[in-house]
Amino acid sequence: MLEIKDIKKTFGSGEQATEVLKGINLDVNDGEIVMLYGPSGSGKSTLLTIIGGLLTPSSGEIVLDGRSWSDLSDSKMTAMRLSDIGFIFQSAHLLPYLNVKDQLTEVATENGMNKRTASEQADALLADFGLSHRAQAYPNRLSGGERQRTAIARAFMNSPKMILADEPTASLDKARALEVVDMLKKRVKSADTVCIMITHDQRLFPKADRLFMLDDGKLTDQTDQIHSFN
């Protein structure tokens, strides 16, 4: 379970201070997909960066499975990001010199997994995401949907407790976007993983368990409106 407790973030100081997040509170359960949307500059990416331990809030606390980010040293935070958090971005950020399978095994071996286990884990994930036949292909030979599916599979490689996705389907057409989110959702449910996704694509909102709008630094629950979006 993820607990976001009264997160505030201010950039600058004095007359130049800009309060981007104004006390964000949210609990996300294991196996749940929460989607966030809102206007540009509303603080969505700032919030996701804080949740991922890449930015320190001005005040407030992030707690994952009872473990507070505030209690972690920089080195422990770095190790935790590698083992407990999977990041998915708008661009797949695949390494051009690694084939699809090696994209996955690389992050696992960096986290201390032995090569045989990493290979078996990668094979299983590639099968789940319909990529077994592309295991030896390099990024420049993949379609946009295949690149994003590879990025999602890679995010699950270390069996993370939480997935953070920032506009993961922005570069895809509707059919590919829905396909990718369906695969992500299936894996989140089966692995019992916390998932927070930022998206502007209203066609994806019905795939969420809960929906929130972030505007002017504050969250508003829009879950009752999920099925009004197409």
8 A C-beta contact, residue 221 and residue 208: no
Please give the model's pTM, rounded to 2 decimal places. 0.93
| Contact predicate 155/129, CB 8 Å | no
d(CA 45, CA 38): 11
Task: Give the pLDDT of residue 80.
Answer: 87
Mean pLDDT of the chain: 92
Which pLDDT score is estimated for 230? 65
Please report the domains of the chain, with CATH numbers, ordered by start residue: 2-96+161-228 (3.40.50.300)
51 CB contacts (<8 Å, ≥6 apart)? 2, 4, 62, 162, 164, 196
**pLDDT score at 55:** 93
Cα gap 89→67, rounded to integer Å = 25
> What pLDDT is stored for residue 169 in this prediction?
87
pLDDT along the chain (230 residues), means of 10: 96 88 96 94 92 94 91 87 90 91 94 94 94 96 92 93 92 85 92 94 93 95 86
